[in-house]
Amino acid sequence: MLTYLGIFVFGIALFSIGTFFRDKGLKILHWIFRFGSLIELSYFAAIRADSVGTDVLFYMKPSFDYAALYHTFFEYWQHYHFELFYALLSYYVQKMTQNSVVFFFILMAIAVFFIILFIDTEKESLDSNLAFCIFVFGFYNLGLNYSRQMIAIAILLFAQRYLVKDDLLRFCFWLVIAFLFHRSSVIILMLIPLYYSYKLRPEMRSNLSLLFIGVFVFLLLFYNKIITVLISVGVLGAKYAVHLSTGLSIPVVITIFHLFLLGVSLALLHSNKIEFKYRTYYVEICIFDFCLLLIGFLSDTAYRLELFTFILVAVMILPVAFKAVAYGTMQGIVWKMLIISAFVLFWYISVVVQNEGQTYPYLTVNSQLVR
C-alpha cells in the first residue's frame, strides 16, 4: 500500500507544481512538471509485477510475447483480433524492443497524456488539481488492468471539448481514434443527443430521460438474449460467451460509492452558476451513468461500458461543478477534502482490501523492480 501511496503522492505533487507554474504564466516550467508527473506514473506502471491486472495476466502479456513468433503484423492481427491501434503497438513494440516494460510504459503514458491534455484545455471551467487527484486514486489501478479501455476513455475525455463547441466532425474523429484502441468507445455516441437535449422543452427532456431509463431496464432484463444473438450473427466473437450473466452481481462498495458520487454531483449541479446547457448536459450524463451502473451488475463486460460515464462524472462533472459552486471558499475547502477523502477511501477498500482487478499488491517476486 505504501508503494502505491508514494507513487500517487509524488505524481500528484509534480502535477500540482505544474498547475502553479501554469497559473503564473510560466509555460515551460508548467510542461516540465506535467511531463514529470506523466513519466513518473507511467514508469511505475511499467515496472510493476507482470501478474498485476487480470487482463495483463490472461491476454495482454501473453499476446505481447507471442508477437515475436509472427513474421508479419497481419498474421498477428488475424490471430488475436485486437483493435488496430492496440495491435500495432503490441506487435511493433515487441519487435523493436522485446521488452514488456516499454510496452506498458507507452500504454499508461498515452492515457495520462490525454488526461493532462483534457485538464489543461478545460482549466477555466474545472479545478485542475482536484480532477487529477480523482483520476489517480479513482482510475490509475484500472489503467494497470484495463489499459486499452483507459486509453480510449482518456481520448474521449479530451474530445469533449469539440462536442460542447458543436464541432461534431472533430469529436467523431477522436471517437474513431478511441475506437481503434477499444471498440466499446462506440457507447460515447450517446453523448451527442444528451448534449443537444438542452434545446428540448423541459417536459420533452423528462420524457426522453424516462425513455432512456426504460431502454436500459429492457437491456437489463434481456441482456443474455441480446449477447447470444450478437454472438450468433458474428457481431461479437465467441470469446464473449464468458461474459453472459449468471444473475445479478452487485458490488456493494462500488455501488455505494457510485451513488454517493452521483448524489454529490447532482447536488452541486443544482447551482445556477453553471450555464444552463452545460448543467442540462451534465445531469443527463449522470442519468446515463446510473443506467449503465444497473447494466454493470450483470457482467464484467457490462461494467466496462459504465467506466466511460463513470470517469465523465468523476473527472469532468465533479471538478467543474465544484469550481463553479464552491471554489476558493471555506465551504469549498471542506467539499474538496471530503471528495478527495472519499476517493482515497474507495481506492483503499476496492484495491487494497478487495483487490478488484488483481492490481494489489504492486510488487511480487516476479516484478521488474525486484529483478
For the four alpha carbons of 282, 283, 289 and 292, in that order, the dihedral sign comes to: negative
Q: What confidence score (pLDDT) does residue 239 get?
A: 60
Q: How far apart are CA 61 and CA 20, in angstroms?
A: 38
Residue 223 pLDDT > 80? no
Nearest alpha-carbon partner for 277 in 185, 170, 166: 166
Nearest alpha-carbon partner for 63 in 43, 46, 83, 45: 83
Residue 62 pLDDT > 80? yes
Mean pLDDT value across residues 31-46: 95
Q: How far apart are CA 339 and CA 289, in angstroms?
A: 19
Residue 242 pLDDT > 60? no
Residue 304 pLDDT > 50? yes
Q: How confident is the model at residue 240 (pLDDT cuts 50, 70, 90)?
A: low
For the four alpha carbons of 331, 337, 339 and 342, in that order, the dihedral sign comes to: negative
Mean pLDDT value across residues 63-75: 89
Residue 371 pLDDT > 80? no
Mean pLDDT value across residues 24-43: 95
Sequence-separated (6 or more) residues with CB below 8 Å from residue 128: 19, 22, 119, 120, 319
**Which of 117-121, 180-184, 311-315, 367-371 has the weakest average pLDDT?**
367-371
Sequence-separated (6 or more) residues with CB below 8 Å from residue 64: 90, 93, 94, 100, 103
Q: How confident is the model at residue 235 (pLDDT cuts 50, 70, 90)?
A: low
Q: How far apart are CA 296 and CA 307, in angstroms?
A: 9
Sequence-separated (6 or more) residues with CB below 8 Å from residue 29: 18, 21
C-alpha distances in Å from residue 104, one per residue of 9, 201, 291: 21, 48, 32
C-alpha distances in Å from residue 137, one per residue of 216, 249, 273: 29, 24, 28
Nearest alpha-carbon partner for 336 in 350, 358, 352, 321: 321
State residue 360 phi and psi, 5-degree precision: -135, 135
Mean pLDDT value across residues 73-88: 88
**Which of 198-212, 233-247, 302-316, 336-350 has the weakest average pLDDT?**
233-247
Q: What confidence score (pLDDT) does residue 3 get?
A: 84
Residue 118 pLDDT > 80? yes
Half-sphere exposure at residue 338, Cβ-oriented, CA atoms within 13 angstroms: 15
Q: What confidence score (pLDDT) does residue 280 get?
A: 87
